[in-house]
Amino acid sequence: MQVQKMAGKSKRPSKVAHGLLLVDKPKGHSSFDVIRDLRRITGVKKMGHTGTLDPMATGLLVICFGEGTKLVPYLTADNKSYEAEITFGLSTDSYDAEGKTVARDTWAALKSLTKDKIQEVMFDFLGTQTQKPPAFSAIKVNGERLYAKARRGEEVEVPTRTVTFHEIDMLSYNSGSETDDLLPKVRIKVKCSKGTYIRSLAFDLGQKLGLNTHLSALRRTQAGAFTLSTAHSLEQIDGDLLHDLLTPLAEALPQATHLSLSDEAVLAVKQGKMIPAPEGLTNAELGLCRATDSQGRLIALLTFEKNRLKVLRGFNP
């Protein structure tokens, strides 16, 4: 008797999509939670984000799909903007509301706090400076995340980093209430360089004022050219309509010089060859270039080298 081999259950093929999706991350989700949810909703497997948000934080998360993942290093380098709430009178081991309380201030100490004092100290943070991230952070030291060491109660040597605060503005100040035990809070708007920890800003602000502080709320409002106003909640994302929600790759780096290439130049670029630069333009004028084909699709990121354009990154639209 001939035995017929039964075919194994075939996996549903994953979908393919290329572009950027702007997501309004909900509180309680890690950045990877959002990726996992989107894979389930859309059926697309290849994706990545351009800047981690802590679970406590909400707001703009730029998700790159398919060929868009090649843009992650360029988009991660963009400045970020936030709205943050800092609470005075209490500090935690993680510098935010989710950590263990380390110290509290008396109301006598808090009564010395004024809106003008906060405003004056905030100005000290403007510009480029050295910042020490929280021990509870995703930074890797010797191959291990710092938060893993901190959770084990180990002494953590946190490496400092150079960051830049381009703007810090006060949105509101609430002096709190001793009777109701409502601690003072300040809401601020911040524009800063990549890799900046707003939790550390909250901690450092308290140190300069001689008070305990922690970050009690954080919302990212902008990342590079993208704003929260055009982002979608996870509930609004329909996998069948994904392509209607994606920002085309050609629009991902609007600050880069745009070059529309001829079919001949497109072929050369796809082969990794250098092509002539536009006449009369210098490296300073061109900078990073985004090259598109006749259909407006992103073909490559180019850089100027000896009067020619060299391929930094190629794309397959």
What are the Cα distances from residue 315, in Å, to 69, 92, 225?
Answer: 10, 45, 21
- Top CATH class of 80-222 equals alpha beta
Which residue shows structure tokens 């406590």?
56
What is the CATH topology of the domain spanning 256-314? 2.30.130
Domains 80-222 and 256-314 share a fold: no
Residues 134-177: pLDDT tens digits?
887 777 776 777 777 777 777 777 889 999 999 999 999 999 99
Residues 245-255: pLDDT tens digits?
999 999 999 99
**CA neighbor of 45 nearest in space, from 66, 29, 31:** 66
- Top CATH class of 19-77+225-248 equals alpha beta
Q: Which residues are known to be catalytic?
A: 54
pLDDT at 3 over 70: no
Give the domain ranges of the chain. 19-77+225-248, 80-222, 256-314
Hey, what are 179's tokens? 């009777």
d(CA 161, CA 298): 34
pLDDT at 204 over 60: yes
